[in-house]
Amino acid sequence: MKIGLLGGTFNPVHYGHLHIAEEVFTCCGLDQVWFVPTCQPPHKRLVDEVSFQHRSAMVAAALADDPRFMVCDIEGRRGGTSYSVETLEQLHHEYPQHQFFFIMGLDSFQEIGSWKDYPRLFELAHLVVTARPGFSGSLQALLPVAIADRFCYDAESKNLLQTGGFSVFSVTHTCRDISSTDIRRKLMAGEDVSSLIPDAVSDYIRQHKLYQNSKDPVR
């Protein structure tokens, strides 16, 4: 099966995450997209210290009615700092029958040279880089110099092809301007977030009293 992997803190998961998953699912002809909540992100502090269990449960609630998507708890089971290369290696071990497509935003791709063992990522999965409409730059120009010569640009598909290995695909997605930071702020102020997160996620947040500094209910 062709499996997309969408990682993140999902603090909380929102419609923007779901929208990206839907567009990559369609554009890349995937069989499923697995949402992979981070246990402890390596590049930033986890805001509000919401546990992996809560964040994973919110993702599961958001995906419950869509068979195209599922939550993968691999980084929670491993614990500690969540490095993508270790996650991909473990997934290959547990699911050798699957082909993986690692989904990341353009901002993350620009910083991939700072990731742990980043050349190994290109040996373990296709990379799917999502960019907003209007991006006219070259993904090849953004590759770290150490690995840039492994790839060639295919004008027909507009993707980077790697001889004998995995490739880099570009997916232009129609952006929904939603921020987890903004959602947390609204929740703490008791503001309405019904247009930003699924009802099931709102229900979970309310039930477990997450992100709330006021007595106003989550609507």
Q: How confident is the model at residue 153 (pLDDT cuts 50, 70, 90)?
A: confident
Average pLDDT of span 18-41: 95
Q: How confident is the model at residue 104 (pLDDT cuts 50, 70, 90)?
A: very high
Average pLDDT of span 76-94: 95
CA 34, 45, 127, 7: dihedral to nearest 10 degrees? 10
Both ends of the chain: CA-CA distance in Å? 38
Q: With 60 as the cut, is the pLDDT of residue 218 above it?
A: no
Cβ atoms of 102 and 128 within 8 Å: the answer is yes
Give the C-alpha separation, 78 to 36, whole Å.
12
CB-side neighbour CA atoms (13 Å) of 180: 17
The strand pair at 69-71 and 99-105 is best described as unpaired
Residue 12 preceded by cis peptide, ω within 30: yes
- The single-letter DSSP state of residue 96 is T
Give the C-alpha separation, 76 to 48, whole Å.
17
Asked whether the CA dihedral 29, 195, 71, 85 is positive or negative, the reply is positive
Give me 2's structure tokens: 């062709």
Give the C-alpha separation, 112 to 43, whole Å.
11
CA distances from 219 to 10, 24, 61, 186 (A): 19, 30, 17, 11
Q: With 90 as the cut, is the pLDDT of residue 91 above it?
A: yes
Sequence-ordered alpha helix ranges (H) in the chain: 15-27, 52-63, 74-78, 84-94, 106-110, 118-124, 139-142, 145-148, 180-188, 199-208
pTM of the model as a whole: 0.91
Nearby residues of 26 by Cβ (< 8 Å), 6 or more positions away: none
Give me 125's structure tokens: 């999965």
CATH of 2-208, one of 3.90.550.10, 3.40.50.620, 3.40.50.740, 3.90.1150.10: 3.40.50.620
Q: Tell me which of 219 and 90 has the higher pLDDT.
A: 90
